[in-house]
Amino acid sequence: MKIIRTSAAMQKWSRTATSPIVFVPTMGALHEGHMALVQRARKLAGKNGSVVFSIFVNPMQFGPKEDLSRYPRPFKRDATMCKEAGVDVIFHPIPDQIYPDGFSTAVDESSVSTSLCGASRTEHFRGVCTVVLKLFNIVHPDTAVFGLKDYQQCRVLQRMVRDLAVPVKMDFVETVRESDGLALSSRNRYLSPEERLQAPIIRKALLAARAAFRAGESSETSLTNIVLRDIRKATDARPDYISVVNGESLQPVKSAKANDVIAVAIFFGKTRLIDNIRLLHQRLRA
C-alpha cells in the first residue's frame, strides 16, 4: 500500500494506474462504516483495478464554531485498517496541497443542499462539493463510493456530478450500525457513556416512524411527532431537525410517499449525530 502526500504525485500515479480506479474519500478516524465502503470499492475495482482511499479533514466543510480542531486524526491506526482491507493507495494531503495560498474558488449546489443539514450548516456543502470535485480531479477515479449515513451529502454530490458532467460514477453504500442500531460515526467517540446509552433511540424512533408509514400513516406532522416522541425519551437528546423530505430533491413534503426519507440531526451535549431512513427501502439510483 502506497501513501501519497502531494496532489502532483497522486495525479501522476493515477495517470498510469490500471483501471478501474475506485475512490473512497473520507476524513479518517475510520470505523466499520468506512470499511464497508472499502469492501465495496475493492469489489468494484476487481483484481486488476485500484482502490484509492483519501484521508483529509477538510477545513472548508466545518463551520467556525464546529469541531475542526478536535476532529480525531488517528492516522497510523487508519493506515493499518486500510492496508488490511486491501486499499492500494492512501492519499493523505497536507491542507496546503488542497488549499494553496490565495485559494478563491468554490463549488456550490443551491437546491438539494439547502434543507436539512444545509439549513443550519450553511457553508458545509459548499466545502464538501469543492473538496470532492478537487479530489476527483486529483485522483481521477472511474467510480467513487460514499456512505448513505450522510444521505444529503450523497444527493448533493450526485447533483453536482450530474450538473457539471463530472466523469465519475457515484456508488452508495448502506449505513453500518452498532448492534443496538446506532449508526457508526467518527463523532460517536465524543459521546459520554450516558449519552452513548441513549443514542440508539435515534434508530428506534426512525424505525417506529417507518412502521407507521407502512401501516398507512403519511402525514408529515404525524411521522415527525412519532420520531419526536421517542427522541424525547432520551433526556440528553436535543433535536436539531426532524424532517420528512423527497428522497431526490430533499425538499420537505406534507404527505409522505414511497422513497421519501425521514432525516434527523440530534444533539447529545455538543455532539451532533445524523441518521435517516427511507420510507420504502429501494436501492438508490446512481
Task: State which of positions 8-27 bind its own copies (CB under 8 A).
Answer: 11
Q: How far is the CB of 100 from its own copies (least distance, A)?
A: 7
Q: What are phi and psi of 86, to 5 degrees?
A: 95, 20
Q: Which amino acid is at 48?
A: N
Read off the C-alpha cell for 44: 468494484
DSSP code, position 20: P
Q: How far is the CB of 108 from its own copies (least distance, A)?
A: 5
Single out the residue of 48, 69, 105, 235 in contact with its own copies (rule: CB under 8 A): 105
* Residue number with CB closer to its own copies (54 or 198): 54
Told to check if 286 binds its own copies by CB under 8 A, we report no
Q: How far is the CB of 167 from its own copies (least distance, A)?
A: 6
Q: How many CB atoms within 10 Å of residue 262?
A: 24
As a residue count, the chain comes to 286
If residue 267 lies in a helix (H) or strand (E), which one and from where to where?
strand 261-268
Q: What are phi and psi of 148, to 5 degrees?
A: -75, -5
Has 92 been annotated as catalytic?
Answer: no
Residues in contact with its own copies, total (CB under 8 A)?
A: 30
* Residue number with CB closer to its own copies (158 or 224): 158
The Cα 29–Cα 76 span in angstroms is 10
Task: State which of positions 178-217 bind its own copies (CB under 8 A).
Answer: none
Q: Please say whether the beta carbons of 175 and 147 come within 8 A.
A: yes
Q: How far is the CB of 86 from its own copies (least distance, A)?
A: 26
Q: How far is the CB of 193 from its own copies (least distance, A)?
A: 43
Q: Please say whether the beta carbons of 23 and 144 come within 8 A.
A: yes
Q: From the candidates 34, 92, 124, 140, which is the catalytic residue?
A: 34
Told to check if 111 binds its own copies by CB under 8 A, we report yes
Told to check if 109 binds its own copies by CB under 8 A, we report yes
Told to check if 7 binds its own copies by CB under 8 A, we report yes
Q: Please say whether the beta carbons of 93 and 7 come within 8 A.
A: yes
Told to check if 170 binds its own copies by CB under 8 A, we report no
ω before 20 within 30° of 0 (cis)?
yes
The Cα 213–Cα 280 span in angstroms is 9
Told to check if 134 binds its own copies by CB under 8 A, we report yes
For binding to its own copies (CB under 8 A), which residues are involved?
7, 11, 100, 102-112, 129-130, 133-134, 137-138, 140, 159-160, 162-167, 249
Residues catalogued as catalytic: 34
